[in-house]
Amino acid sequence: MNIVIIGGGFAGLNLAKELLDQKDIQVTLVDKNNYNFFPPLIYQVATAFLEPSSISYPFRKFFAGKKNLQFRLGELKTVVPAENKIILNNGELSYDYLVFATGAETSYFGMDNVQKNAIPMKTLNDAIEMRNTILKNLEKAAICKDIRKRRKLLTIVVAGGGPTGVEVSGMFAEMKKNIFQKEYPELGTAASNIYLIDGGPALLAPMSKESQEDTHKALTELGVVIQLNTQVTDYVDDTVFLSNGETIQTKNLIWAAGVSAKIFDGIPTESYGRGKRMATDAYNKVNGTENIYAIGDTCIQLTDAAFPGGHPQVAQVAIQQGLNLAENFKLIGKNKPFIPFKYNDKGSMAIIGKNKAVVDLPSPKMHFKGFFAWAIWLFIHLISLITYRNRIKTFFNWMIAYFAKDQSLRMIIRPDSSKKKSNNEPAC
């Protein structure tokens, strides 16, 4: 049995890992990057508190010596279901079963100017670009004599009050307090603000009211200006336009406001549901197909009675769907029926700053905040990293940051864009 997995995130990697050493199953993992990375800690790379290698690891090194698993660097272009094959930017692959685990991409809700000028927060490349942009603007502000231009360079607007928006806002607030004044004496008492904008009535909408209120209070105490029931409507000439009629002058609009799945050539239009997510049955088989499956953020499954509107697009859903589908693939050789997917909600959490976090547990229903919640957040994220190497490096960096209130990773490193080549290249 030949299984091709598109995407090596939480869902795809856990599916592949569970199928290792299965004698009758050959797995090919396809990804446009040659590494796996840990999205929940992207913002710490973006704010220079972790280096990229702390949260990433090469696929080929991870799968070295695994006889039934191969890695293919490539980007999916077309699916040909009638021939059981896919066309990549650098060749073709045949399959018996095809699994989409492609996650989601940043959604700008049709706002072209925002897409063109804002700083996204979805990939490792985004994080490095954000780090470079913020650091370059700090350097420009340090030598800028015009007060208004300097304020634009220093002001940060974060769009989106989910975990990513909350965490990056808190991180910048602590950097402003503990680092910027010390390392940039040229700025003196230059005026700047950190704004957190969200279209809903509360931050961390999926979490408990206690978590929402605790987060709002903690961020406000850190100096973050929070505007709720407000949406970003445009971003032109360094001006953020808000739905309440206000504007904010800034060079730094960080976009953490929404995600959308991807549409792939060859998958029937009727197979897609809300948010471009592939609609699947209880076993994650894509509706309208025979041997194509989708797991994680790229799919929407309406068969789980506890989640009639579909599962949340979070890591635990992706991980559990990957593990469940792996077990079902193993059952094929045993001629046993598939097991329907049921999501086990293990809770949700968000970090706000040093010794500040919120945690909600569903069963029994409990809420934690402060240092204990912060310690839980650190532990869960640490053990979730892919290898011991990642865990040790991350723990080491966190300890330095905790005691020194700082890190030494603020280097502006950028490639020469003039030498970029197209990725639509032949295989050889």
User: Among residues 18, 75, 129, 167, which one is catalytic?
Assistant: 167
Farthest-apart Cα atoms in the chain, separation: 74
Clarify whether 167 is annotated catalytic: yes
Q: What is the DSSP string of 52-105?
A: GGGSEEEHHHHTTT-TTEEEEE--EEEEEGGGTEEEETTEEEE-SEEEE----E
Please give the structure tokens belonging to residue 318.
């992706």
Q: Is the dihedral of CA 401, 403, 405, 410 positive or negative?
A: negative
Beta strands in 81-175, from DSSP E residues, in sequence order: 85-88, 91-94, 97-100, 105-106, 119-120, 156-159
Unique residue bearing structure tokens 């929940």: 40
Cα–Cα distance between 47 and 170 in angstroms, integer?
11
Write out the H or E segment, with its range, that includes residue 351. Answer: strand 348-353
- Report the 10 Å Cβ neighbour count for 173: 22
Give the residue from 34, 37, 38 showing the smallest Cα distance to 59: 34
Unique residue bearing structure tokens 């949700």: 348
Residue 183, sorted as left (phi over 0), alpha (psi -120 to 50) or beta, turns out to be alpha
Write out the H or E segment, with its range, that includes residue 236. Answer: strand 232-236
**Spatial CB neighbours of 333, under 8 Å, sequence gap ≥ 6:** 1, 24
* Cβ atoms of 178 and 171 closer than 8 Å: no
SS3 355: coil
Residue 65, sorted as left (phi over 0), alpha (psi -120 to 50) or beta, turns out to be left
Phi, psi of 202 (to 5 degrees): -155, 155
Cα–Cα distance between 359 and 208 in angstroms, integer?
9
CA dihedral 14, 16, 22, 26 (to 10 degrees): 170
- Report the 10 Å Cβ neighbour count for 32: 16
Strand partners of residue 358: 350, 369
Q: Could you list the active site residues?
A: 167
